[in-house]
Amino acid sequence: MPRLDHLLPNVIDVFESYPYKVNISLKDGLLIYGNSKFLEGTHPEVASQLIGNYNILTDPQLENWGLKEHVELAFKGQFVKTTMIKFPSKTLPDLLYRKESAFLMIYQDITSFPLLTAAGEWTHVVTLFEPCIQQAQRSELLLAKHYIENNWQQTITIAEVAKAANLSASRLNALFRKELGFTVHAYQLEVRMKHLCALLLNPDISISSAFEHCGLSYNSHYTTQFKAYSGLNPTQYRQRNNAR
């Protein structure tokens, strides 16, 4: 099994005390560590074959889970956070013995970042899995948000979102207002603005094209909405962030 002695002192102790699942992979994708929460409930024989054998970069399920882009960026040394991913929970360590029907699926926020050695060299990727426990009691809300986030480029109606959440449109809007403080439409716009911010960081994409890619018209209405969201107009946002 790959050794972890060369990592920063006490780093494993920190991850062992973390209340959620954590794993560490080499730059080539090979899994070399999972904390006790990650391996919880896993047969020792399965765990022993998982650590040092499973490679996230070759997992064919990445695209199905909506994690392909996340993993690609993470293993280029970037800090990446993906929210509201429907992902295996208790059976996660049994990936080598995958049985799709046996998976317990929950929504999780997944964060990956490069880990440096004491010498300052990047050799590992750390991934943290945090359940969306603050909203877990409202499964309808999670389903609606998940549908919006998976169809953010499309023109979708509240009726379509409500159907995905098994609610009426009026009930869904009321639920959004009560739990989140805004409407379904406002949440759709927020998701698009988040993606627009990311696209504006690419100088090879024109501002108008970035808006169009996000399903928004490049006009005074949406530029005003963008400024309300980010605090800057699109040109200022691009200039300030690309100057860093």
Query: Which homologous superfamily is 137-242 in?
Result: Homeodomain-like (1.10.10.60)
* Calpha distance 26→30 (Å, rounded): 5
CB 219: neighbour CB atoms within 10 A? 10
Q: What percent of the chain has pLDDT over 70?
A: 80
DSSP at 164 = H
Q: Which of 11-15, 35-39, 85-89, 239-243 has maximum average pLDDT?
A: 35-39
Q: What residue ranges do the domains of the chain occupy?
A: 11-134, 137-242
pLDDT digits 0-9 by tens, 45-80: 666 678 889 999 998 878 777 788 899 999 998 889
The CATH number of domain 11-134, selected from 3.30.70.1060, 1.10.1040.10, 3.40.50.10070, 3.30.450.20: 3.30.450.20
Q: Is 90 exceeded by the pLDDT of residue 163?
A: yes
Question: Angle, to 10 degrees, between the axis of helix 234-242 and the axis of helix 220-230?
Answer: 40
The helix or strand, by DSSP H or E, that contains position 169, with its residue range, turns out to be helix 169-179
